[in-house]
Structure 1
Amino acid sequence: MKKMLILVRHATAEDQSFRVKDFDRNLNNRGLAESEVMGKWLAEANVKPDIFISSPAARAFKTAEIFAKQLGVNSASINSKPEIYDGGPRAYLSAINSVSEDFSNLILFGHNPDITYFAEYLSGGNIGSMKKGGVAFIEFENQKWEEISAKTGNLVLYKTPKQIGGVE
């Protein structure tokens, strides 16, 4: 059975400061707009993720919530995986490998540079550095989630908010 993994780098967040821990940084106005545009674009493309997984960091989780709203999904169903925040690409792989076979379309919200490394690790593709709010679609043929590893996927699409045309 075909699987689709949609990787989303969180949208633009407020700058780091000594007053706010990195984990607690929220989306700024640009990030809110990027998330709205990308979520709406997925909805218009009739993309229907079966399961949402997100880093619990404020900026990633808020991006996931906005996408969920645009896609008509209850944000209470977003699975928060703390290890995604700073666990490196292995944490992403662990999150993917543990998904039930009941799901064929997974959307995962995370952080750079790990999410870019992970996309390239799975697909063998070269994205460069995922842009804030960027979305990468990686397709897997005849594999279970637990079998997914290096270069087992095919990068079929990568889009950024700027390419969609909503945010400069």
Structure 2
Amino acid sequence: MKKTLILVRHAAAEDQKLMVRDFERELLGKGRTDASAMGRWLVSKQVNPDRFVSSAAARAHQTAVIMADQLQFPAGSIVLEDFLYDGGPRGYLSVVNAIPSESQVVALFGHNPDITYFAEYLSGKDLDSMSKCSLVIIEFENLDWAEISAKTGKFVLYISPRELRES
């Protein structure tokens, strides 16, 4: 059976300020617009995640909530994972390996550079750097989440909000 992982880099957030910790940075209006557009794009492609997992950092969680709303996924069911904030690709892998086997399509929200490194690690595809609110879809044939590791995934696509606007 096929598993599908949608890796989403958080949308555009406010710049780091003296009084705001990086973890607490929130989305800008542009980020909210982009997250909504990317969610609508997933709806148009009939990609319906049955599980959302997000970094607990404000900007990633807000991106997940906005996209969940477009996909009619309950925001209260989004799983927050500390390992997705500065946990490196190894942290991302531990989160993916712990996904319950009944989940078939998972949307995972994180941060650069780790999310780009993780997409490359899983697929073997050179992505350079994922832009804000872009997503990568990777499929895994006949593997459970616990079995996923380096280069076990098939790269399906990369799309960014800019590419959506230009199409």
Q: TM over 0.5, yes or no?
A: yes
1:97 aligned to 2:97?
Answer: yes
What is the CA–CA distance in structure 2 between the aligned matches of 1:64 and 1:97, rounded to whole Å?
A: 20
Q: Specify the code of the residue in structure 2 equivalent to 1:35.
A: A
**Paired residue secondary structure (2:158):** strand
In the TM superposition, what are the counterparts of 1:1-168 in structure 2 within 5 Å? 1-165=1-165
* Per-residue deviation, 1:46: 1.0
User: 2: distance between equivalents of 1:63 and 1:50?
Assistant: 17
Q: Secondary structure at the match of 1:156?
A: strand
- TM-score w.r.t. length of structure 1: 0.97
RMSD: 0.8
Unpaired runs of at least 5, structure 1? none
Indicate the percent of aligned positions where both proteins have the same amino acid.
54
Q: CA deviation at 1:130?
A: 0.3
Residues paired across the two proteins, number: 166
State the SS of the aligned residue for 1:131. Answer: coil
Give the whole-Å Cα distance in 2 for the aligned partners of 1:88 and 1:31.
23
Cα offsets for 1:97-152 (capped at 9, x unmatched): 01111111111000000000000000000111000000000011111100000000
Stretches of 4+ aligned residues off by more than 6 angstroms: none
